[in-house]
Amino acid sequence: MAEERDSIAEPLYALLSEVFDMRGVFRWLRKTLVTFVQITYGRTINRQIKETISWLFCEHMLHYYTGVVLKSWWPGGVLSETTNNRNLRDKEHTRTLALQQLSESVAGALGSLLGAHTAARGAHKLFHTLQNTTHNKQLFYELFEVVLLEVLPELKRYQ
């Protein structure tokens, strides 16, 4: 029964375990997460994940996402101009700021649960993993496919 209740959350546990290198303490963390979600939300992790995903793909949120894309690509109803190519120094500065912000947000969100050092190490690992252009393209295509199949379920018959 517990196995069935964790079937959706299992990949998330594996992701947390991989990113934060928590092999030994992971059973304790998993029990803590399960207890936290059950106490906080009054439901199982699977139910919470299903409801969150349903909310992320509800009509209202899809409308919001479309509006954000339209406003960023066509500000004021006009196609945005192409930006100049940034030099290496600007790219490195942006990369440093992004790493700093990611580290701060992960440390703030997970620092007390995982420990500050483990959270910072996981943030650095995640950041450096996401610097690979080929992997980012593949991740984008995979996520885009999932979104398309969710938004247009009739495409599933062509898989």
Specify if 67 maps to a domain: no
The domain total for the chain is: 2
User: What residue numbers bound the domain in which 95 lies?
Assistant: 88-159
Q: Residue 59 corresponds to which tokens in the numbers above?
A: 């009509």
**Residue at a domain's end among 19, 46, 61:** 61
What token pair was written down for 125? 């690992």
Does the pLDDT at position 7 exceed 70? no
Indicate whether 93 belongs to any domain.
yes
For the stretch 102-158, pLDDT in tens is 999 988 888 877 788 888 888 999 899 889 999 999 999 998 998 888 888 898 888
* Residue-averaged pLDDT of the chain: 83
Q: Are residues 92 and 159 in the same domain?
A: yes
The CA distance from 37 to 46, in Å, is 10
55/94 same-domain check: no
Tell me, yes or no, whether 57 and 93 share the same domain. no
DSSP string, 25-45: THHHHHHHHHHHHHHHHSS-H
Residues 52 and 93 in one domain: no
- Decide if 74 is inside a domain: no
Q: How far is CA 26 from CA 3, 5, 69, in A?
A: 16, 18, 38
Q: Report yes or no on 82 lying in a domain.
A: no
Residue 66 lies in a domain: no
78 belongs to a structural domain: no
For the question of whether the overall pTM of this predicted structure is more than 0.85, the answer is no
From 61, 79, 109, give the residue that closes a domain: 61
Residues contacting residue 117 through CB under 8 Å, at least 6 positions apart: none
Structural domain includes residue 113: yes
Per-residue pLDDT tens over the stretch 38-62: 777 777 777 878 888 889 989 999 9
Query: 29 in a domain, yes or no?
Result: yes
Q: In this structure, are 48 and 98 located in the same domain?
A: no
One domain, residues 152 and 113: yes
CA-CA-CA-CA dihedral for 119, 124, 125, 127, to nearest 10: 120
Distance between CA 120 and CA 110 in Å, rounded? 9
| Side chain identity, residue 139 | L
